[in-house]
Protein backbone atom coordinates (compact mmCIF):
# COMPACT_ATOMS: atom_id res chain seq x y z
CA UNK A 1 0.00 0.00 0.00
CA UNK A 2 2.85 2.32 0.95
CA UNK A 3 4.65 1.52 -2.32
CA UNK A 4 1.50 2.32 -4.29
CA UNK A 5 1.14 5.82 -2.76
CA UNK A 6 4.85 6.82 -2.90
CA UNK A 7 5.68 9.51 -5.48
CA UNK A 8 7.36 8.30 -8.65
CA UNK A 9 11.11 8.96 -8.70
CA UNK A 10 12.47 10.91 -11.64
CA UNK A 11 15.07 8.67 -13.30
CA UNK A 12 16.88 11.71 -14.72
CA UNK A 13 16.63 14.74 -12.38
CA UNK A 14 18.48 16.99 -14.86
CA UNK A 15 16.28 15.92 -17.73
CA UNK A 16 13.82 18.84 -17.72
CA UNK A 17 16.55 21.48 -17.60
CA UNK A 18 18.35 19.83 -20.51
CA UNK A 19 15.09 19.77 -22.43
CA UNK A 20 14.53 23.50 -21.84
CA UNK A 21 18.07 24.32 -22.90
CA UNK A 22 17.74 22.26 -26.06
CA UNK A 23 14.41 23.91 -26.83
CA UNK A 24 15.93 27.38 -26.50
CA UNK A 25 18.86 26.37 -28.69
CA UNK A 26 16.49 24.97 -31.32
CA UNK A 27 14.41 28.14 -31.19
CA UNK A 28 17.51 30.34 -31.55
CA UNK A 29 18.82 28.26 -34.45
CA UNK A 30 15.38 28.38 -36.08
CA UNK A 31 15.21 32.16 -35.80
CA UNK A 32 18.71 32.53 -37.22
CA UNK A 33 17.77 30.26 -40.11
CA UNK A 34 14.57 32.21 -40.80
CA UNK A 35 16.48 35.50 -40.76
CA UNK A 36 19.08 34.12 -43.15
CA UNK A 37 16.41 32.85 -45.53
CA UNK A 38 14.55 36.19 -45.36
CA UNK A 39 17.71 38.14 -46.17
CA UNK A 40 18.57 35.75 -49.01
CA UNK A 41 15.04 35.97 -50.44
CA UNK A 42 15.10 39.79 -50.20
CA UNK A 43 18.49 40.05 -51.90
CA UNK A 44 17.37 37.64 -54.61
CA UNK A 45 14.12 39.55 -55.17
CA UNK A 46 16.01 42.83 -55.48
CA UNK A 47 18.42 41.23 -57.95
CA UNK A 48 15.56 39.98 -60.11
CA UNK A 49 13.84 43.37 -60.01
CA UNK A 50 17.09 45.15 -60.94
CA UNK A 51 17.48 42.81 -63.91
CA UNK A 52 13.92 43.59 -65.06
CA UNK A 53 14.57 47.33 -64.75
CA UNK A 54 17.82 47.13 -66.74
CA UNK A 55 16.05 45.09 -69.43
CA UNK A 56 13.54 47.97 -69.89
CA UNK A 57 16.35 50.48 -70.31
CA UNK A 58 17.82 48.92 -73.48
CA UNK A 59 16.03 50.19 -75.50
CA UNK A 60 14.27 52.62 -73.14
CA UNK A 61 10.67 51.65 -72.47
CA UNK A 62 9.44 54.25 -70.03
CA UNK A 63 6.30 56.34 -69.56
CA UNK A 64 7.68 59.92 -69.81
CA UNK A 65 4.57 61.53 -68.32
CA UNK A 66 4.87 59.31 -65.27
CA UNK A 67 8.58 60.10 -65.04
CA UNK A 68 8.03 63.90 -64.97
CA UNK A 69 5.19 63.52 -62.49
CA UNK A 70 7.42 61.52 -60.15
CA UNK A 71 10.35 63.90 -60.55
CA UNK A 72 8.14 66.84 -59.55
CA UNK A 73 6.64 64.97 -56.60
CA UNK A 74 9.98 63.64 -55.36
CA UNK A 75 12.33 66.55 -56.10
CA UNK A 76 10.39 69.81 -55.93
CA UNK A 77 8.40 68.85 -52.85
CA UNK A 78 11.60 67.76 -51.07
CA UNK A 79 13.28 71.15 -51.45
CA UNK A 80 12.07 72.69 -48.14
CA UNK A 81 13.04 69.82 -45.84
CA UNK A 82 16.42 69.36 -47.57
CA UNK A 83 17.11 73.11 -47.30
CA UNK A 84 16.43 73.18 -43.55
CA UNK A 85 18.56 70.08 -42.98
CA UNK A 86 21.47 71.39 -45.04
CA UNK A 87 21.56 74.87 -43.49
CA UNK A 88 21.60 73.53 -39.95
CA UNK A 89 24.12 70.82 -40.86
CA UNK A 90 26.63 73.45 -42.00
CA UNK A 91 25.95 75.52 -38.88
CA UNK A 92 26.47 72.52 -36.58
CA UNK A 93 29.80 71.66 -38.19
CA UNK A 94 31.09 75.17 -37.48
CA UNK A 95 29.82 75.04 -33.89
CA UNK A 96 31.67 71.77 -33.33
CA UNK A 97 34.88 73.15 -34.89
CA UNK A 98 34.73 76.51 -33.10
CA UNK A 99 36.69 75.54 -29.92
CA UNK A 100 39.61 74.08 -31.91
CA UNK A 101 39.64 76.96 -34.37
CA UNK A 102 39.79 79.48 -31.50
CA UNK A 103 42.46 77.53 -29.58
CA UNK A 104 44.89 77.29 -32.52
CA UNK A 105 43.90 80.46 -34.33
CA UNK A 106 43.09 78.51 -37.49
CA UNK A 107 40.29 80.75 -38.80
CA UNK A 108 41.77 80.56 -42.28
CA UNK A 109 41.17 76.80 -42.42
CA UNK A 110 37.52 77.01 -41.41
CA UNK A 111 36.31 76.98 -45.03
CA UNK A 112 38.41 73.96 -45.91
CA UNK A 113 37.36 72.03 -42.80
CA UNK A 114 33.66 72.70 -43.29
CA UNK A 115 33.82 72.01 -47.03
CA UNK A 116 35.80 68.80 -46.71
CA UNK A 117 33.41 67.20 -44.23
CA UNK A 118 30.27 68.51 -45.92
CA UNK A 119 31.03 67.67 -49.53
CA UNK A 120 32.60 64.26 -48.99
CA UNK A 121 30.45 62.80 -46.25
CA UNK A 122 27.83 64.73 -44.30
CA UNK A 123 25.69 66.22 -47.08
CA UNK A 124 25.35 62.99 -49.16
CA UNK A 125 24.67 60.87 -46.08
CA UNK A 126 22.08 63.12 -44.42
CA UNK A 127 20.36 63.86 -47.73
CA UNK A 128 20.09 60.14 -48.43
CA UNK A 129 18.49 59.51 -45.04
CA UNK A 130 16.03 62.38 -45.58
CA UNK A 131 15.07 61.17 -49.06
CA UNK A 132 14.78 57.60 -47.78
CA UNK A 133 12.35 58.66 -45.07
CA UNK A 134 10.27 60.96 -47.22
CA UNK A 135 10.43 59.65 -50.81
CA UNK A 136 11.36 55.98 -50.36
CA UNK A 137 8.74 55.31 -47.68
CA UNK A 138 6.06 57.13 -49.66
CA UNK A 139 6.95 55.20 -52.81
CA UNK A 140 6.62 51.89 -50.96
CA UNK A 141 3.27 52.90 -49.46
CA UNK A 142 1.90 53.83 -52.91
CA UNK A 143 3.10 50.66 -54.59
CA UNK A 144 2.00 48.48 -51.67
CA UNK A 145 -1.48 50.00 -51.70
CA UNK A 146 -1.74 49.40 -55.45
CA UNK A 147 -0.69 45.77 -54.95
CA UNK A 148 -3.14 44.95 -52.14
CA UNK A 149 -6.01 46.67 -53.99
CA UNK A 150 -5.12 44.65 -57.12
CA UNK A 151 -4.42 47.72 -59.27
CA UNK A 152 -1.13 46.18 -60.41
CA UNK A 153 -2.98 43.03 -61.47
CA UNK A 154 -5.43 45.24 -63.37
CA UNK A 155 -2.52 46.78 -65.30
CA UNK A 156 -1.35 43.32 -66.32
CA UNK A 157 -4.90 42.44 -67.39
CA UNK A 158 -4.87 45.51 -69.65
CA UNK A 159 -1.53 44.37 -71.14
CA UNK A 160 0.33 47.27 -69.49
CA UNK A 161 3.77 46.35 -68.19
CA UNK A 162 3.96 47.45 -64.49
CA UNK A 163 7.75 47.61 -64.60
CA UNK A 164 7.78 50.10 -67.51
CA UNK A 165 4.75 52.09 -66.35
CA UNK A 166 5.20 52.13 -62.56
CA UNK A 167 8.64 50.97 -61.45
CA UNK A 168 11.07 52.43 -63.99
CA UNK A 169 9.86 56.07 -63.66
CA UNK A 170 10.03 55.81 -59.87
CA UNK A 171 13.46 54.14 -59.95
CA UNK A 172 14.92 56.86 -62.19
CA UNK A 173 13.07 59.58 -60.27
CA UNK A 174 14.48 58.59 -56.88
CA UNK A 175 18.04 58.20 -58.23
CA UNK A 176 18.02 61.59 -59.99
CA UNK A 177 16.30 63.23 -57.03
CA UNK A 178 18.99 62.16 -54.59
CA UNK A 179 21.76 63.31 -56.93
CA UNK A 180 20.19 66.75 -57.44
CA UNK A 181 19.25 67.14 -53.78
CA UNK A 182 22.85 66.40 -52.76
CA UNK A 183 24.12 69.20 -55.00
CA UNK A 184 21.48 71.51 -53.53
CA UNK A 185 22.39 70.44 -49.96
CA UNK A 186 26.12 70.97 -50.60
CA UNK A 187 25.55 74.59 -51.57
CA UNK A 188 23.16 75.40 -48.73
CA UNK A 189 25.31 73.66 -46.11
CA UNK A 190 28.29 75.79 -47.13
CA UNK A 191 26.13 78.92 -46.88
CA UNK A 192 25.03 77.86 -43.41
CA UNK A 193 28.63 77.20 -42.36
CA UNK A 194 29.84 80.55 -43.75
CA UNK A 195 27.18 82.62 -41.97
CA UNK A 196 27.63 80.70 -38.71
CA UNK A 197 31.40 81.19 -38.94
CA UNK A 198 30.90 84.93 -39.26
CA UNK A 199 28.46 85.02 -36.36
CA UNK A 200 30.46 82.87 -33.92
CA UNK A 201 34.08 83.29 -34.98
CA UNK A 202 33.96 86.61 -36.86
CA UNK A 203 35.36 84.82 -39.92
CA UNK A 204 34.21 86.84 -42.91
CA UNK A 205 32.47 85.05 -45.80
CA UNK A 206 35.41 86.10 -48.03
CA UNK A 207 37.91 84.37 -45.70
CA UNK A 208 35.66 81.32 -45.58
CA UNK A 209 35.51 81.23 -49.38
CA UNK A 210 39.30 81.64 -49.67
CA UNK A 211 39.80 78.68 -47.32
CA UNK A 212 37.31 76.66 -49.32
CA UNK A 213 38.96 77.17 -52.72
CA UNK A 214 42.53 77.70 -51.50
CA UNK A 215 43.81 74.47 -53.00
CA UNK A 216 43.36 71.94 -50.19
CA UNK A 217 39.88 71.02 -51.42
CA UNK A 218 39.80 69.56 -54.94
CA UNK A 219 37.29 68.40 -57.51
CA UNK A 220 37.85 64.81 -56.33
CA UNK A 221 36.32 65.66 -52.96
CA UNK A 222 33.16 66.96 -54.65
CA UNK A 223 33.02 64.00 -57.04
CA UNK A 224 33.42 61.60 -54.11
CA UNK A 225 30.25 62.88 -52.46
CA UNK A 226 28.28 62.98 -55.71
CA UNK A 227 29.32 59.42 -56.58
CA UNK A 228 28.08 58.30 -53.18
CA UNK A 229 24.76 60.09 -53.69
CA UNK A 230 24.19 58.28 -56.99
CA UNK A 231 24.82 54.86 -55.40
CA UNK A 232 22.66 55.77 -52.39
CA UNK A 233 19.85 56.65 -54.80
CA UNK A 234 20.08 53.25 -56.48
CA UNK A 235 19.86 51.50 -53.10
CA UNK A 236 16.84 53.50 -51.91
CA UNK A 237 15.01 53.20 -55.22
CA UNK A 238 15.56 49.45 -55.47
CA UNK A 239 14.56 48.67 -51.88
CA UNK A 240 11.45 50.88 -51.94
CA UNK A 241 10.20 49.37 -55.22
CA UNK A 242 10.97 45.82 -54.11
CA UNK A 243 9.18 46.04 -50.77
CA UNK A 244 6.26 47.86 -52.38
CA UNK A 245 5.73 45.15 -55.01
CA UNK A 246 6.13 42.32 -52.48
CA UNK A 247 3.47 43.67 -50.12
CA UNK A 248 0.94 41.17 -48.81
CA UNK A 249 -1.65 41.19 -46.02
CA UNK A 250 -3.73 44.29 -46.73
CA UNK A 251 -3.24 47.58 -44.86
CA UNK A 252 -1.06 46.05 -42.08
CA UNK A 253 1.16 44.61 -44.79
CA UNK A 254 1.64 48.08 -46.29
CA UNK A 255 2.85 49.34 -42.91
CA UNK A 256 5.28 46.44 -42.59
CA UNK A 257 6.63 47.10 -46.09
CA UNK A 258 7.20 50.79 -45.31
CA UNK A 259 9.09 49.87 -42.14
CA UNK A 260 11.18 47.31 -44.02
CA UNK A 261 12.02 49.91 -46.67
CA UNK A 262 13.22 52.49 -44.15
CA UNK A 263 15.33 49.93 -42.28
CA UNK A 264 16.81 48.32 -45.40
CA UNK A 265 17.54 51.69 -47.04
CA UNK A 266 19.28 53.11 -43.96
CA UNK A 267 21.35 49.96 -43.44
CA UNK A 268 22.20 49.80 -47.15
CA UNK A 269 23.24 53.46 -47.23
CA UNK A 270 25.68 53.02 -44.35
CA UNK A 271 27.13 49.79 -45.77
CA UNK A 272 27.54 51.32 -49.23
CA UNK A 273 29.02 54.45 -47.67
CA UNK A 274 31.71 52.35 -46.01
CA UNK A 275 32.47 50.41 -49.20
CA UNK A 276 32.56 53.47 -51.47
CA UNK A 277 34.72 55.38 -48.99
CA UNK A 278 37.11 52.43 -48.80
CA UNK A 279 37.31 52.10 -52.59
CA UNK A 280 37.60 55.80 -53.44
CA UNK A 281 39.80 56.57 -50.45
The predicted structure's pLDDT at residue 149:
92
* Whether pLDDT at 61 is above 80: no
CA–CA distance, 62 with 177 (Å, rounded to integer): 17
Rounded to two decimals, the pTM is 0.82
The predicted structure's pLDDT at residue 181:
93
Residue 168 CB partners (closer than 8 Å, separation 6+): 53, 56, 57, 61, 62, 63, 67
The predicted structure's pLDDT at residue 19:
60
Which range, of 58-62, 68-72, 112-116, 213-217, averages the lowest pLDDT?
213-217
Helix (H, G, I), strand (E, B) or coil at 149: coil
CA–CA distance, 238 with 272 (Å, rounded to integer): 14
Q: What is the pLDDT of residues 220-267, one digit of tens each?
A: 888 888 999 999 999 999 999 999 999 988 888 999 999 999 999 999
* Whether pLDDT at 119 is above 80: yes
The predicted structure's pLDDT at residue 3:
44
CB 80 within 8 A of CB 183: no
Backbone angles phi, psi at 57, to 5 degrees: -90, -20
pLDDT band (50, 70, 90) for residue 143: very high
CA–CA distance, 99 with 103 (Å, rounded to integer): 6
CA–CA distance, 52 with 236 (Å, rounded to integer): 17
pLDDT higher at 279 or 255: 255
pLDDT higher at 264 or 109: 264
Amino acid sequence: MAAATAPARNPNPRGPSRGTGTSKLDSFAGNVGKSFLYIAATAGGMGVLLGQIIARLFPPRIDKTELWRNLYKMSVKSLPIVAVTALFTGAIMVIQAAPIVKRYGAEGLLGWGAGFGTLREIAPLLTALMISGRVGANNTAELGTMVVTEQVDALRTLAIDPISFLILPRFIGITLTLFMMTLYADILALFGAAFTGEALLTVSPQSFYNGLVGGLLGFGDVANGLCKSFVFGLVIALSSCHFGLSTTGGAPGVGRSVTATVVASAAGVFIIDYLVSFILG
